[in-house]
């Protein structure tokens, strides 16, 4: 890559906030200028196979990987990483290496888990980013500004002690505003 330091743009928000759609829009601009692009997604995100697909149907081919160390981007100027929250702390070192090598790096992910707590490596990446796009959705309960991800199990909000990662779509998750977001069994602070 070139001798210049790369740039990191993190696109974060709750479920249904348009993170993948925004990523695809930005990557399409790079494609128009002839930049080489690669998208990586974690193997735990089994939805849509090897496609990065928005809820509106826009899509781009992605490489499915099991670990952050599998992300190299060696042959591409623009490196995109979908669902960054699924990668461990190792992702920070990978992103730093990509930036040192002069790549333009995009990372999408949930900034909060279903409990409303910071999710995995995303807060660190947001702090390191040159640009952060924090997207919102429409609360599926009151139609206010949705900033939280509500996990639904058998039609009810998931309790605090539910597993942290449960891959699913609209049948398992809803966007909620802070007033409508419920986490039964949340420990009192």
Task: Compute, in degrees rounded to 10, the torsion defined by CA atoms 122, 13, 112, 123.
Answer: 20
Nearest by Cα to 165 from 128, 120, 121: 120
**Distance of alpha carbon 140 from the chain centroid:** 20
Q: Which two tokens stand for residue 131?
A: 């640009």
Please provide the size of the chain in residues.
189
Strand segments, DSSP code E, in the chain are 7-13, 37-42, 51-53, 59-61, 63-65, 78-82, 104-110, 131-135, 137-138, 145-146, 148-153, 156-157, 173-176
Residues belonging to the active site:
83
Q: Is 128 exposed, middle or buried (0-12, 13-18, 19+ CB in 10 A)?
A: middle
């Amino acid at each position: 890559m070139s001798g210049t330091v790369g740039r990191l743009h993190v696109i974060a928000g709750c479920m249904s906030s348009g993170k993948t759609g925004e990523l695809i829009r930005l990557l399409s601009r790079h494609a128009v200028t002839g930049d080489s692009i690669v998208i990586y997604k974690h193997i735990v995100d089994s939805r849509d196979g090897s496609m990065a697909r928005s809820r509106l149907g826009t899509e781009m081919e992605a490489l499915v990987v099991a670990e952050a160390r599998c992300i190299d981007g060696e042959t591409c100027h623009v490196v995109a990483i979908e669902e960054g929250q699924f990668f461990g702390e190792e992702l920070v070192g990978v992103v730093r290496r990509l930036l040192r090598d002069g790549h333009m790096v995009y990372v999408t992910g949930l900034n909060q888990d279903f409990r409303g707590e910071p999710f995995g490596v995303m807060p660190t990446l947001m702090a390191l980013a040159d640009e952060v796009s924090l997207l919102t959705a429409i609360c599926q309960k009151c139609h206010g500004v949705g900033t939280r991800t509500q996990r639904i199990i058998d039609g009810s909000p998931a309790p605090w002690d539910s597993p942290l990662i449960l891959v699913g779509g609209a049948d398992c998750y809803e966007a909620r505003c802070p007033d409508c977001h419920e986490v039964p069994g949340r420990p009192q602070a």
